[in-house]
Structure 1
Amino acid sequence: MGERRETITQPARTRALRPHPGCSSTAVAMSSAHLQLVDTGDPAALRIGWVTYIARQRGKVPPLPAPVRIEPVDDEGALIVLTSERFTASNPDHVASAERVTELLDRAGLVRSVAAP
C-alpha cells in the first residue's frame, strides 16, 4: 500500500515543491467523470478530487473526517487524499466524501476561486 500511496500523491507533491510563476496555489487529481459531477461552470472554482494540494498561503487545512488523510508538503502546503483506494465517481461513498470535504474546506475559506489573490 505504501508504494500505491506514493504513486497517487507524487505528481501533486512534485507540483507543490516546484511551483511555476503564474501557477495557482492548488493542484487536483480527479477523473473526468468526477469533474462532470462537480462542475459548476466556473473555470476558476476549486474542485476537490482524489488528491488535492492546497498551498499554505491559501490558509490552514482543518481536521477532516476519516478516511481522509492530510499530508504535509514540507512547509509549502498540504495534500488532501480522500481515500487510499482508487477513487471512482461511481462509488457513492467516494462522491459523498468529496462533497463533505468540499463543505469543510469552504467553511475554512479554502474553496474560494483559485483566481483570487
Structure 2
Amino acid sequence: MQNALRRPLSPNLAELEPFVRRGKDRTFDNLGFSGGGWNGAGDDYETTGLLIACGGSSEWVGNSCVYTLPSKGPSLERILSASALAALIRRTADAWEPEWGVAISEQHRDVLKPRRPKGTPYVGWVTYLAQHRGTLPPLPSPVRIEPVADKGTLIILTPERFTVSNPEHVALAERVRELLDRAGLLKPLHAQP
C-alpha cells in the first residue's frame, strides 16, 4: 500500500495533512489522494481499518471512505448495532459530505452486486443519501429516517441486527431500494462508460 506508515497518527491537521499529501497521485491530477490506516490490533478479528480516496474527479476512479470493521469478538459486538453504525455513517457524512454512504456486510453486498446498476448507491442496514439527491418517499415500517444536519438523511432499515440469512431483512432492503430508485434517488454519480 502506498503511504506505508508503521506508527500511530494523531488526529490533528499537522500530522494528517502530510500523510494525505503523500497519497497524491503524481501522474494523474484527477485521481486525487489516497491513504489508509488500521488500529494495529494483534488479532485479525479485532482489526479495524480505513481506506480513503478523495479529491478525485475521474469517472474511472471514485472517491470513497471505506471502514473495515472487526469480524468477530467483543469489538464487533460493541459496534454491530443500528445505533453505532448510524453514528459512524452520520459522523462520516457530516465531515465529508458524500453523495451516499452505507453500512453493509460483505455477504449482503455480494448478493446485491450482480443486479446493482454500476455506480449506483447500495441500500444496506444503514444508508445515507445527500439531500440534493432528492426527497425521500414514504418508507415501510420498521424503517427509521434521521436527518444529518442540513446535509442528508440516514435510512435505518431495522433496529435489530440486519442479516442476509433473514429473508425478511433482505426483502425489506429490496423494497426500500425499489422505492428510492423509483423516486430517482439512486442515480449513478457519473455517466458510466
TM-score normalized by structure 1? 0.86
1:31 aligns with 2:105: yes
Which structure has the higher relative contact order (CA within 8 Å, separation 6+)?
Answer: 1
**Alignment partners' CA distance in 2, 1:42 and 1:104:** 15
- Corresponding residue of 2:186: 111
SS at 1:66's partner residue?
Answer: coil
Q: Which has the larger Rg? A: 2
One-letter amino acid of the structure 2 residue matched with residue 35 of structure 1: R
Deviation at 1:5, TM superposition (A): 4.2
**Alignment partners' CA distance in 1, 2:183 and 2:118:** 21
Deviation at 1:111, TM superposition (A): 1.0
**Alignment partners' CA distance in 1, 2:121 and 2:106:** 15
**Equivalent pair of 2:162/2:169 in contact (CA under 8 Å):** yes
- For 1:1-117, list aligned pairs within 5 A: 4-19=81-96, 24-39=98-113, 40=115, 42-115=117-190
**Alignment partners' CA distance in 1, 2:187 and 2:156:** 19
Task: Point out 4+ residue stretches in structure 1 off by more than 6 angstroms.
Answer: none
SS at 1:109's partner residue?
Answer: coil
**Equivalent pair of 1:52/1:81 in contact (CA under 8 Å):** yes
- Corresponding residue of 2:49: none
Identity of matched residues, %: 49
**Equivalent pair of 1:48/1:98 in contact (CA under 8 Å):** yes
Deviation at 1:16, TM superposition (A): 1.2
**Equivalent pair of 2:144/2:155 in contact (CA under 8 Å):** yes
One-letter amino acid of the structure 2 residue matched with residue 115 of structure 1: H
**Alignment partners' CA distance in 1, 2:112 and 2:94:** 27
SS at 1:18's partner residue?
Answer: helix
Unaligned 5+ residue runs, structure 2? 1-80
**Equivalent pair of 2:82/2:126 in contact (CA under 8 Å):** no
**Alignment partners' CA distance in 2, 1:64 and 1:53:** 14
SS at 2:96's partner residue?
Answer: coil
